[in-house]
Amino acid sequence: MPLTLVTWNLKGSNRPDIAAVAAHLRAVGADVVALQEVQRRQAHELARLLGAHSLTWGFKHWPVAVRPEGMAILGLAIPVEVDTQALSFRWRLWSSRRRIFQVARFLPSGSGRERWMLVNLHLSTREAERRAHEVATVLRTMGATEGPAIVSGDLNDRPGAPLFAQLGAAGLRDAWAEVHPDADETESATNWPGWTPGTTKDPSRRLDYVLVNDALDVVAVDIPRPGEPGFDGFRTLSDHLPLTVTLAPRAPRPA
């Protein structure tokens, strides 16, 4: 049975409309949701509105002036077990440069007894070398996973960056590129540089990704696009758009 995953950087410090976020997640039929830049109370309110089976919020840093920021994984259709780990600047609890990641495991309905792994990521900004180190740490943590595995989140890098060679060497495929191999970055853009709420500009950068291993097939992938009904609502929610991917276990190939 296919599973629908949504990854979304909510820019929680800007106080997004959580009811509107919940409405979108309902509309796309999300089973599991991976969030970045979300405050604890926002994640709990979202879980309440959606009747989530499980929620794990992980502390990232505390900017002092606003509520602490973090990451969260919600199991909407199924319960999800999640472990949150520090990734960079472990002891700088007040610094936005501190990074964490979450490793989740769950058993989708109708998928047999094989649990899936999901990694929720938000990599460092500006420093490509640090991002490469962070990816290497994540891949070591994942280990030699033979079952279904997913890496998703805000990778803070554009298509074709060196970190995708790292991920590709580990057997991970970009879900969007697999379904839309000839699309340019404008068609897959998930981020507004210099965003202000209600911007009239269109998103121009792709920073958000879902990557999967060979145990999974990509059934569908979607990013809201300018001109579509309801798109203008996303202009006020966050500087990132949600990325929705539907996945299914890959059928065994004939011997």
Q: In whole angstroms, what separates CA 102 from the centre of its chain?
A: 10
Label the pairing between strands 116-122 and 149-154. Answer: parallel
Lowest mean pLDDT among 26-30, 116-120, 125-129: 125-129
pLDDT of residue 100: 97
pLDDT above 80 for 172: yes
pLDDT at 228 over 90: yes
**Residue 240: DSSP 8-state:** B
Interval 225-253 mean pLDDT: 94
DSSP states along 217-232: EEEEEE---TTSTTGG
Residue 113's pLDDT is 75
With a cut of 90, say whether residue 22 has pLDDT above it.
yes
Unique residue bearing structure tokens 């057997």? 171
Measuring CA to CA, which residue among 8, 4, 23, 241 is closest to residue 106?
4
Dist CA 237 CA 24 (whole Å): 11
pLDDT at 254 (0 to 100): 53
Nearest to 185 by CA among 212, 158, 219: 158
pTM: 0.95
Give the pLDDT of residue 193. Answer: 96
> Which CATH architecture describes the domain 3-249?
4-Layer Sandwich (3.60)
Kindly state the DSSP code that residue 31 receives in the 8-state scheme: S
The closest of 50, 16, 31, 43 to 233, measured between CA atoms, is 16
pLDDT in tens, 125-147: 989 999 999 999 999 999 877 79
Per-residue confidence (pLDDT) for residue 60, from 0 to 100: 92
Torsion angle defined by CA atoms of residues 172, 152, 234 and 25, in that order, rounded to the nearest 10 degrees: 110
Give yes or no for residue 255 having a pLDDT over 70.
no
Which tens digit of pLDDT belongs to each residue from 68-78? 999 999 999 99
Say yes or no to pLDDT of 205 above 60. Answer: yes
Spatial neighbors of 3 by CB under 8 A, at least 6 apart, are: 31, 32, 77, 108, 111, 116, 246, 247, 248
**pLDDT band (50, 70, 90) for residue 107:** very high
Q: Please report which confidence band the pLDDT of residue 253 belongs to, taking 50, 70 and 90 as the band edges.
A: low
What are 153's strand-pairing partners?
A: 121, 209
pLDDT at 65: 75
Tell me what pLDDT residue 229 has.
95
Residues β-bridged to residue 33 = 6, 74
* DSSP letter assigned to residue 34: E
